[in-house]
Amino acid sequence: MLNLGVSKKYLNIFLIVVFLFLSASCDYSKRSNTIVQIYGWSEWDCTDSEFRILKQNPGLDFLGLSFLKVKKWYSLEEFHKNHYEATLEPFKDLPYSDETLSEIAPTFEDSEAILGELIAEVDCDYPEDILF
């Protein structure tokens, strides 16, 4: 009778450890989302409408998009917020009026247009990776 109780105890501990291992090893974040890779350097998540870059690209610096962090997903709102802050960063300590800064700062439509250009070739109805 004692052996049966001990073996049930070990079995329960073993099952708990296995369950914890299996649940900890699963990544549910973007597994079932439709993600389209764009030229091997960025991705568009058609399910959540989010964009990310996979590796730094000198062209992004030229376009003023160096604020994008590698492998971080950006919704349109996050993209605009980061774009806005990065654009105004060089002017933060200069004595510009709010009116002048508002003329320099990108509007939501500006950010939307830039993101639209980055994902222009993506067709979420027929998702295929876009290659060179």
- Condensed to tens digits (0 to 9), the pLDDT of residues 78-98 reads 999 999 999 999 998 999 999
| Containing structural domain, residue 74 | 35-118
Q: Is residue 19 part of a domain?
A: no
Residue 63: inside a domain: yes
What pLDDT sits at residue 27? 47
What would you measure as the largest C-alpha separation in the chain, in angstroms? Answer: 84
34 touches 22 (CB < 8 A): no
Residue 8 has a pLDDT of 75
The amino acid sitting at 132 is: F
Structural domain contains residue 6: no
CA distance 69 to 52: 8
Residues of the chain with pLDDT under 50: 1-2, 25-27
Instruction: Give the number of domains in the chain.
Output: 1
- Collect all residues with Cβ–Cβ distance below 8 Å to 54 and sequence separation of at least 6: 37, 40, 41, 42, 43, 70, 71
* Full-model pTM: 0.73
Closest CA to 88 of 56, 80, 74: 80
Is the Cβ–Cβ distance between 50 and 74 less than 8 Å? Answer: yes
- Residues of the chain with pLDDT > 90: what percent? 61
In a domain, 1, yes or no: no
Q: How far apart are CA 122 and CA 38, in angstroms?
A: 8
CB 16 within 8 A of CB 25: no
